[in-house]
Amino acid sequence: MSESGRAASRTAVLVCQGRAAADGRAAARRFADPVAVRLLRPEERTVVEQVRAGTPPEGLRARTGYESVRACAEIAVPRTVAIDEALGARPNGQLVVLGAGLDTRAWRLAELAETDVWEVDHPASQQDKRARLAAADVRPAARAVRFTPVDFAVDDLATALDAAGHDPAAPTTWLWEGVVPYLTRDQVRTTLAALAARTAPGSSLVLNYQSPSAKASAGRLLTRLLGNSVTAGEPWRSLWTPERMAALLAEHGLHVTSDHDLLTLARALDTTARSRSSLRTGRVAVAEHR
Ligand SMILES: C[S@@+](CC[C@H](N)C(=O)[O-])C[C@H]1O[C@@H](n2cnc3c(N)ncnc32)[C@H](O)[C@@H]1O
């Protein structure tokens, strides 16, 4: 538990486990995340090994944990490949990762060699990540990594980025992956307004969000009822249709140039998908500031 009274994000660990489980095995080798497993603690690696081996454990609770990591691996592949490609196509000197969790890009993407990366996250999650990085002893691939603790519910993003040396007058690529569902609509609006105010021409936002679906929400509720305490502690707070998200971004001068659901992206990668409803509702959009 951090000084702010909140524990480090457990969904961030789950996503990292998903990437570790899929590393080098999926998407005709277009997906690889060898850093993910290094950020996991030994007890968090067991289920990753079970998923990689395809050997589910006995017992309802362990089996639920296994299915969560297996499903997360399926989601992580198209999401990561689409985002990595979007970032590679927009080489800016500044990349701000909002709600970074255990994101590994600053430690694995050679394309970031000329880029400064700001890792913005809730202080509790960031403290946990820094401890994991120190234990893993991995070197950044990015030119620099600047840790910027921010609670989107209470802190001012602009003040934090100013203090961390982000230049609002230079183009920035913003990445906001796997965070929007955990924020209220107001917190999403406030964060977007803050980033838009520091978005120079030539900047882009790469955004992953969740669109509404009764089936996906019911599936998430069922996992919680079956005892998955990971999702229980971090409920979804806002889901957006592509139309509403595009309208909100346009209010802030960000124009959507692509927006695809993960199932479409997974099919384009020829990956097999069992968790179709989760893939159908997860989306990756790119918006540009011209
Ligand atoms: C599911 S994880 C996603 C992490 C990472 N972006 C990824 O896709 O692997 C959700 C992240 O949102 C962050 N988050 C949730 N609510 C937040 C808040 N109020 N302020 C800052 N970060 C928050 C958590 O700390 C966590 O790192």
By mean pLDDT, which of 169-173, 213-217, 249-253 is the weakest?
213-217
The verdict on residue 139 lying in a domain is yes
Does residue 2 carry a pLDDT above 70?
no
* Residue 3 clears pLDDT 60, i.e. is over it: no
Give per-residue pLDDT as tens, 52-106.
999 999 999 899 999 999 999 999 999 999 999 999 998 899 999 999 999 999 9
190 domain residue, yes or no? yes
Q: Above 50 in pLDDT, residue 227?
A: yes
Pocket lining for ligand 1, CB < 6 angstroms: 9, 11-12, 15, 99-103, 121-122, 125, 150-153, 177-179, 182
Structural domain contains residue 73: yes
Report if residue 1 sits inside a domain: no
Q: Which of 1, 4, 9 to mutate to test the pocket of ligand 1 (most atoms within 8 A of CB)?
A: 9
Distance 121 CA to ligand 1 centre (A): 6
Pocket test for ligand 1, best of 182, 183, 236 (most atoms within 8 A of CB): 182
Domain enclosing residue 166, as ranges: 10-288
Best substitution site from 35, 122, 154, 231 to test ligand 1's pocket, by max atoms within 8 Å of Cβ?
Answer: 122
CA 99 / ligand 1 centre spacing (Å): 4
Residue 51 domain flag? yes
Residue 141 lies in a domain: yes
How many independent structural domains does the chain possess? 1
CATH for 63: 3.40.50.150
* Average pLDDT score, the chain: 91
Q: pLDDT by residue (tens digit) across 135-172?
A: 998 999 999 999 999 999 999 999 999 999 999 999 99
Asked whether residue 174 is domain-assigned, the answer is yes
**Concatenated DSSP letters for the chain?**
--TTS-PPPHHHHHHHHHHHHHTTTSGGGT---TTGGGGS-HHHHHHHHHHHHT-PPSSHHHHHHHHHHHHHHHHHHHHHHHHHHHHHTS--SEEEEET-TT--HHHH-GGGTT-EEEEEE-HHHHHHHHHHHHHHTPPPSSSEEEEEE--TTTS-HHHHHHHTT--TTS-EEEEE-S-GGGS-HHHHHHHHHHHHTT--TT-EEEEEEE---HHHHHHHHHHHHTT-HHHHTS-------HHHHHHHHHHTT-EEEEEEEHHHHHHHTT---S-HHHHHHEEEEEEE--
Q: 1 falls in which pLDDT band (50, 70, 90)?
A: very low
Question: For residue 4, is it within any domain?
Answer: no
